[in-house]
Amino acid sequence: MIRCIIIDDEPLAQDVLAEHLSAINDLQLVGRFNNAHAAKEFLEKSETDLILLDIEMPEMTGISFLQGLSHPPLTIFTTAYRNYAFEGFELGVIDFLLKPIPFPRFASAIDKVRDFLALKNQDTQLEQGQPEPEFIFVKSGVKRIKLYFDQVTHIQGLKDYAIIYTPAEKIVVKGSVKMVQEMFPAALFVRVHKSFLVSVKAIRRLERNRILIDNHQVPIGRNYREEVEKYTRGS
CB 77 within 8 A of CB 55: yes
- Do β-strands 216-219 and 189-193 pair in parallel, antiparallel, or remain unpaired? unpaired
- In this structure, the chain runs to a length of 235
CB 211 within 8 A of CB 220: yes
Residue 235 has pLDDT above 70, yes or no: no
Residue 5 has pLDDT above 70, yes or no: yes
Alpha helices in the chain (DSSP H): 11-22, 36-45, 62-67, 85-90, 103-120, 177-183, 225-232
Sketch out the chain's domains with CATH numbers.
2-120 (3.40.50.2300), 124-232 (2.40.50.1020)
Residue 83 has pLDDT above 80, yes or no: no
Q: What is the pTM of this model?
A: 0.82
Q: What is the pLDDT of residues 188-231, one digit of tens each?
A: 999 999 999 999 998 887 887 889 888 788 989 888 988 888 87
Q: What is the pLDDT of residues 110-168, one digit of tens each?
A: 999 998 988 888 878 999 888 889 999 999 877 888 999 999 999 999 888 999 999 99
Which of 228, 226, 229, 204 lies closest to 216, judged by CA? 204
| E strand map for 124-188 | 124-126, 135-140, 143-148, 154-158, 161-165, 170-174
CB 67 within 8 A of CB 41: no
Cβ-based neighbours of 12, under 8 Å, separated by 6 or more: none
| pLDDT score, position 204 | 81
Rounded distance, CA 48 to CA 96, Å?
19
Q: What is the pLDDT of residues 161-200, one digit of tens each?
A: 999 999 999 999 999 999 999 999 999 999 999 999 999 9
pLDDT band at 86 (very low <50, low <70, confident <90, very high): low
Rounded distance, CA 200 to CA 105, Å?
27
